[in-house]
Amino acid sequence: MKHSKWMALLLTGVCAVSMLAGCGSNQGKDNPPTTSQQQSGAKMNEAVYEGSVLSGIVTDYTEGEFSVLAIQEETADDGGAIAIMPAPGSGKDDNATKVVYDKDCEFQIVKIDGSQKKAPEYQDASAGDVKKLTEVIVFGEKLPSGEVQADKVLIPQIYNKDKMPGSY
């Protein structure tokens, strides 16, 4: 009888301690985003490009104009999107699109969270922030000459690239 009371007390104590062991705080830990969080983050990041006429890498820059080697999107066999662009300096720069702008053109840096947890953040920039090999997103009008008259130019800066969905 003494042993059964002692055993019951011991088992009750072990159960209580084991239940408390699972009650730790998750604060400060990186919890992986859920699928719905990733989709809403991806939509926030995609919204940066909505309405753009051109996006790509600057291959040549002078005051009032620059050339952009466009990033082209294609669909993979599995339905995923693939971004394709010749490397700057590879001899295929003749496919670049000339972008012209005037003093009313708006320039902004857009900081994009690669982990898709935060909304893009915008900050003012200037034409001087556009340099050779800068990635740009151009908004404006395609002219009959094939050039683009820019109203707005975004300079994306992606952080948390190592936490992007699909990165290993």
Tokens 């080697």, located at residue: 69
Question: For residue 38, what are its two tokens?
Answer: 């990733």
Nearest to 132 by CA among 102, 100, 89, 161: 89
Strand residue runs (E) in the chain: 54-62, 65-70, 72-75, 81-84, 97-100, 106-113, 121-124, 135-142, 148-159
The arithmetic mean of pLDDT across residues 109-136, rounded, is: 92
pTM exceeds 0.85, yes or no: no
CA distance 137 to 51: 10
The arithmetic mean of pLDDT across residues 132-151, rounded, is: 95
The arithmetic mean of pLDDT across residues 134-138, rounded, is: 95
Q: Is 55 exposed, middle or buried (0-12, 13-18, 19+ CB in 10 A)?
A: buried
At 111 the pLDDT is 94
* Poorest-pLDDT segment among 32-36, 114-118, 149-153, 159-163: 32-36
The arithmetic mean of pLDDT across residues 59-80, rounded, is: 84
Assign 51 to helix, strand or coil: coil
pLDDT exceeds 70 at position 43: no
pLDDT digits (tens, 9 = 90+) for 29-40: 444 444 444 444
pLDDT exceeds 60 at position 70: yes
The arithmetic mean of pLDDT across residues 149-161, rounded, is: 92
